[in-house]
Amino acid sequence: MICRCRVIRLPRACRNSANRSRGVIATSTFPSEKSAAVAIAEEPRGFPDIEAILGCTPVWLLVLVLHAGCWVEYERIVASFKNSFLFILFGLVYLTASWFFFLELHQHPLLMVPESGVPAPNWEQFPFFILLCMWINDTMAYIVGSLIGKTPLSPISPKKTWEGTLGGIVLTVLLVGGGANYLLGSLIPVGKMEPLLSAHWYVLALLAAIAGTWGDLLESKFKRVAGIKDSGTILPGHGGFLDRFDSLLVATPVCWIYLKLILA
């Protein structure tokens, strides 16, 4: 809603046709999301009060708000780019598709009943696994980099080091991948439910950590080209929505593609 109000005013303030097109494109992304949110709300998921009042599930509402915040800041960053229209088109994929995959993972069955192939109920928290990978990777990369970091990773982000990056990735695989494999495996009654194979949890954690690092560098590149330090002021002291979710925006599609390939 915040972003919709923001982008509706863009065409009026634009000084050239390229900027005017940018405003129209940005505005057009939200009716489709609204329709999708209404459609998903037709299937109750245990939140009757919120669904009745807002017309959508809490997860959809949260994702719509986060997408809105990210889009406002992304548009602000690329507005000064020479080919800003092309970057707006890229943003439609970079932001909208990423959050779509996040919702897809929310509904992705982690477990299957071997006899029937029916998805197991109440396992819709897979996005938390990716979020945990992002948090652990960032935290461990910072700690390892602070202790032994010497080699700069990239001029785009001078504070990141190869030692910290590799340390964060390795610890993410061990802690999150190993933890998910152990916890989910131990919570499943033998003979009734079949967990995702052990190796897949480690691979998913590895992919999430690597892709998350690339996502962080990608957003840093955008800010460097635009000549700004923080993507926005919506979250004071945290750099903005994009700074908080830049890793997730790349890691989510990568994990989604991997799951589709191995479970096809």
Q: Are residues 40 and 137 in the same domain?
A: no
pLDDT at 4: 36
Boundary residue ending a domain (72, 107, 142) = 107
What residues have CB less than 8 Å from 228, skipping those under 6 apart?
77
Q: Are residues 179 and 259 in the same domain?
A: yes
pLDDT at 136: 96
- Tens digits of residue pLDDT in 24-55: 334 334 444 443 444 334 444 443 343 433 44
Q: Are residues 217 and 250 in the same domain?
A: yes
Q: Are residues 94 and 186 in the same domain?
A: no
Q: Which of 235 and 155 is assigned the larger pLDDT?
A: 155
Closest CA to 255 of 217, 202, 216: 202
Q: Are residues 90 and 138 in the same domain?
A: no
Boundary residue ending a domain (107, 138, 168) = 107
Residue type, 203: V
In a domain, 116, yes or no: no
- Could you tell me the pLDDT band of residue 13, with boundaries at 50, 70 and 90? very low
Give the ranges where the chain is alpha helix by DSSP (H): 2-8, 10-13, 17-41, 48-54, 58-78, 84-91, 98-106, 126-148, 162-172, 178-187, 198-226, 241-262
Q: Are residues 78 and 163 in the same domain?
A: no
Q: Are residues 231 and 133 in the same domain?
A: yes
Q: Are residues 93 and 130 in the same domain?
A: no
- Tens digits of residue pLDDT in 54-101: 444 565 566 666 666 666 666 666 666 667 677 777 777 778 778 788
d(CA 99, CA 36): 13
- Could you tell me the pLDDT band of residue 222, with boundaries at 50, 70 and 90? confident
Q: Are residues 140 and 262 in the same domain?
A: yes
pLDDT at 238: 55
Range of the domain at 14: 1-107
Contact 232, 76 (CB under 8 A): yes
Q: Are residues 138 and 99 in the same domain?
A: no
Quick one: three-class SS letters along 22-51?
HHHHHHHHHHHHHHHHHHHHCCCCCCHHHH
Residue type, 111: L
- Tens digits of residue pLDDT in 153-183: 988 888 899 999 999 999 999 999 999 888 7
Residue 224, both tokens: 């460097």
Q: How many domains does the chain have?
A: 2
> Percent of the chain at pLDDT above 90?
21
Which 8-state DSSP code applies to residue 196? P
Q: Are residues 64 and 178 in the same domain?
A: no
pLDDT at 172: 97
Residue 229, both tokens: 């330090």
